[in-house]
Structure 1
Amino acid sequence: MIFKVPSHLRNKNLTAYEPKVVSIGPYHHGKPQFEFMEKQKRRALDNFAKRSGVTIQAYTDEMRKVVGKLKSSYADLDLVRWNDDDEFIKLMILDGCFFIEFLSGRARAFNRHYPDNDPVFGPRGHAINDIAVRQDLLMVENQLPYLAVQTLWLTVPEGRQKPDVGAISQWVASDIMEKDAGFHMLDTHMEELLQIDKRSIHDKEPGKLCASELYQFNVYFRKAESYNKLHFNITTGVLTLPIITINERTVSTYLNMVARASTRESSTAAIFIIYTRLMGTLVQSTKDVRLLQSHGIIINQLSNREAVLEVIQDIAKGTISSDVIVRSNDLSYISIIEGLDKFCKLRTIRLRKTLYVWFTNLTETHFKTPWSGLSLIAAITLLALTVIQTVYAILSLSRQH
């Protein structure tokens, strides 16, 4: 399902969930700032239809067969505005063709279908617009069901020119035909980012710790390149965490991923919710930001650490209340935090035991009688005075020179 962002999330950051360059789907369709890209969508449709040899009417007829499923994919669809199926079908075809044409634009073989000076689909135009468009395509309200893409894809006859599927494979899963009707690009992005194993079990959520407190117990932090490397070694005390890059662009992406995860029941959504909550727990102050930044886990591309702290806390607060944690590939977040708790408790017990043994030896060896205790105190006092006298002599000598 494709939802609108809940108001309690939107009010925290009004611009994070608004597309900037192109609207996809019905929620932001028709806004004046997207007029330029609407014209590009029509060009994309013409080019796609010309290469495929399929008439627009044929695409319309095929899309009409699934229009009910497509409409039901949008949980907050304005049924009054989109009462006309023909208008909704036209939107799905336009946006679907733009989706395929633009995301295929990285392939050199594909770019030859457009002039080099094309403002959007040519090599230079695509390079200029690539980041901004892909950013908009990761907005939770700016999604197109893969069912629409699938319908366009299957309507093209075998042997006709199709854009290279490999060029869009990073966004369109190889099993696109098997996805549910409401599955979309942000879902794919989250699954690939988190690399979730669908076989999962659930555990109860553990307690909370922060990074700087863990560091005081000799927990060391190591960066990981992917989420499936998340791990805590209770023997060595090394907590391996995936890298998180915080800049103006990724802030919006993370917030939209949280909004999507909050409205979806899946292992991907659950593990992302727990991950963001874990980061919110670990990062409670700028001291925690500085610590994780020094270990290369947080990449800060904002103006200051206070801004990073605010972003991580906002992302964590956006997660829905949940009492479950997903285990994937024999890894669970509860096992990590319980491991941290156990490690810290063991460190505390060891320290107390060491102090107890030291104090016991001290009393048994040096405090068996009052005179032995006084002798020890006198020896310590004499040693302290000797050290002070030596330091004073060195300072006096340095002043003379």
Structure 2
Amino acid sequence: MTSSSCDIEKGCVEFEHGLSSFQEESFTIFKVPHRLREVNEKAYEPNVISIGPYHYRKPHLARMEDFKKRWFEKFVKKPHLGIDQFREAIRPLEEKIRNCYEQPLPPGLEAKANFVDMMVYDGCFAVQLLQNGHLNDFIKHGRHVLNEIQYDLLFLENQLPFFVLLELYRMIKPNPEPQRHICELVAFALKFFERRPLYLPKNTSIRHLLHLVHTTSNPSHLGTQVEVENKKKEENLQSSRNWMPSATELEDAGIHFSGVSIQNMQNQEQGEKNKFEITFDNATKELKIPTLEVDDSTEREFRNYMVHEQFLPLGVPTYFVDYVIFMDELINTGKDVELLRKSKIIDNWLGNDEAVTKMFNKLGDSIYYIREDFHYKNIVIQVNNHCEIKCNIWKWMAKLKKDYFNTPWSPISFLAAFVLLVLTIVQTIFSLLSYYH
């Protein structure tokens, strides 16, 4: 058995521990709301490939349509299983699949034959890509293409219902154990998107690939437990401030920033790299934030996860939205980004700090969230209570150090000035005594 096969087998075993039954519920694959699309339309538009009906036959995605059909002929079609067999499998599901999308669909998909063919070719392409990758097939299109497809498959408007992918996978790779189909496909998908194939809630209902990958982004049980314990400690504390000061203001107040390399992070229960594990040590006044690499794809990645969270039921955590709101509070100017970059919290690949500032300041535009359920509410309370303590000795010491002891000669200058002041006072006292004598 190859290393890759061993990984998938291990992933299946781990996944089965967290999956008691596959739930097929009624759901909708939503379009991006207008209020969000007008902020940055390109962030929701696939660059290379269309999957599903929303971007069907758009001109800039056209060249991949023939590629999907060639892939079907090369990897899927068998002597005893051709396109007609796949069409027969999808036809009974057509109405159910249509109901998963907002109407109306693009012209051309009113015809049942076109809709079914689109599902077959798009679905088989996605399944084969998740299962094997076939990197060499993309080289002639440019080395960036596979990378772009990886992002495109996680766009909200570029999704197929997971039950469609599952049905096609059953045909491509027959297995007498139905449960194995689910766990194998999930393991392949998470491996393709570079996520560990475990930690999914029991009775998981997988809607589509974006939903699946989003689920694995949740902070670990360990992090949640720490948050609960801290919340109990702080439940009687109140802050008059609703939000935090910026990073540079917090530094002036004596709060230290520390980046944590997510490459080295290993949650004891999850073993997954997680950008959301933010902690604040009230004793040392240290705010620890996992390092975030900010590059050209960061904004579109965050935006698609965030818009997905806009349609989650009430009570379901929205970690991407809450993280962006938290970071937006810390970042007001390029100076804030500079501080976070020097603290190894932000790894800036955009070229300048102002670009990162602009990105975070716009990410939260037109995003709805519930303040009472804010994931980092406890940290905000602790930080604000620290900043509001009267005669804050930390703030005074931090400002003194920053303004007067920022060079090796500063303490000497301060000491000399202090000695001079003392001598002046002593001289004045002796002068007065001499006068009265």
Bucket of the pairwise TM-score, normalised by the shorter protein: 0.7 to 0.9
What residue in structure 2 maps to residue 193 of structure 1? 217
> Alpha-carbon deviation of 1:258?
2.0
In structure 1, runs of 5+ residues without a counterpart are 327-331, 355-376, 386-401
- Unaligned runs of 5+ residues in structure 2 are 1-27, 263-273, 398-419, 429-437
Give the direction of change, closer, same or farther, for the CA distance of 1:64–1:378 in structure 2 (3 Å limit). closer
Verify the 8 A CA contact 1:222 1:241 in the aligned structure 2: yes
**Do 1:194 and 1:272's aligned partners in 2 also have CA atoms closer than 8 Å?**
no
Match of 1:394 in 2: none
Q: Deviations over 1:89-116 (max 9, x none)?
A: 211111111112223334xxxx5xxxx9
For each residue in 1:34-79, what CA deviation from the matched residue of structure 2 results, as whole angstroms up to 9, or x when unmatched?
Answer: 2221011112222343359533333223223332332222235528
1:204-226 Cα distance to aligned partner (Å, 9 max, x none): 99533221111111111112322
User: Is contact 1:26–1:77 with CA below 8 Å preserved after alignment?
Assistant: no
Matching of residue 47 in structure 1 with residue 74 in structure 2: yes
| 1:8-157 aligned within 5 A | 8-51=35-78, 53-78=80-105, 81-106=108-133, 111=134, 119-120=137-138, 128-155=144-171, 156-157=173-174
What's the Cα RMSD here?
3.9
Q: How many residues align?
A: 345
Give, as a single letter, the amino acid of the residue that structure 1 aligns with 2:174: P
1:317 aligns with 2:317: no
Aligned AA (1:265): P
**Match runs of 1:1-400 below 5 Å:** 1-51=28-78, 53-78=80-105, 81-106=108-133, 111=134, 119-120=137-138, 128-155=144-171, 156-158=173-175, 166-170=187-191, 171=193, 180=205, 183-195=207-219, 206-224=242-260, 225=262, 226-265=274-313, 270-325=318-373, 332-346=375-389, 348-350=391-393, 379=422, 381-382=424-425
Q: TM-score, normalised by structure 2?
A: 0.68
8 Å CA contact 2:275–2:292 kept in 1: the answer is: no
Is contact 2:87–2:120 with CA below 8 Å preserved after alignment? yes
The answer as to whether partners of 1:102 and 1:126 remain within 8 angstroms in 2 is: no
User: Following the alignment from structure 2 to structure 1, what is the Cα–Cα distance between the partners of residues 60 and 286?
Assistant: 49
Q: CA deviation at 1:322?
A: 2.2
Give distance in 1, aligned partners of 2:85 and 2:246: 58
What displacement does 1:25 show? Answer: 0.8
Counterpart contact for 1:150–1:177, Cα < 8 Å: no
Q: CA contact under 8 A between 1:49 and 1:56: conserved in structure 2? A: no
Name the CA distance, whole Å, in 1 between partners of 2:137 and 2:246.
Answer: 48
Give 1:188 shift.
Answer: 2.7
Change (3 A) 1:7 1:228: closer
Q: 1:239 to 1:74 in 2, by over 3 A?
A: same
* Most deviating of 317-326 and 140-149: 317-326
What TM-score, normalized by structure 1, do the two folds share?
Answer: 0.73
The one-letter code matched in structure 2 to 1:336 is I
Alignment CA distance shift 1:269-1:18 (3 Å): farther
Is this contact kept in 2: 1:231–1:336, CA < 8 A? yes
